[in-house]
Amino acid sequence: MLDSPQLESALIVAPHADDEALGAGGLIHRLARRGGAVHVMFAAVDGMQHYGTDHHTSVEEREAEIQAAARILGFSYSIIYRGRGLIEKLDTIAQREMVDVFEQALNRLRPDLFVLPHGVDFDQDHRACFQAAFAAARPIPTSFGKFLPLRVISYEMPKLTWSEQAFQPNLYLNISDDIDTKLAAVKAYSSQLRATPHVRSLDNLRALAHLRGSEAGIQYAESFRIHRWVL
- For residue 190, the enclosing domain spans 9-229
Q: What confidence tens digit (pLDDT) does each residue in 40-61 have? A: 999 999 987 566 667 678 999 9
What domain count does the chain have? 1
Nearest residue to 11 via CA among 44, 37, 43, 45: 37
**CATH number of the CATH domain containing 109:** 3.40.50.10320
pTM: 0.94
| 4 within some domain | no
pLDDT digits (tens, 9 = 90+) for 84-112: 999 999 999 999 999 999 999 999 999 99
Please indicate, yes or no, if residue 2 is contained in any of the structural domains.
no
Determine, yes or no, domain membership for 3.
no
Does 1 map to a domain?
A: no
β-sheet with 37-45: strand ranges across: 76-82, 37-45, 9-14, 113-117, 151-155, 221-229, 171-174
Q: What are phi and psi of 28, to 5 degrees?
A: -60, -50
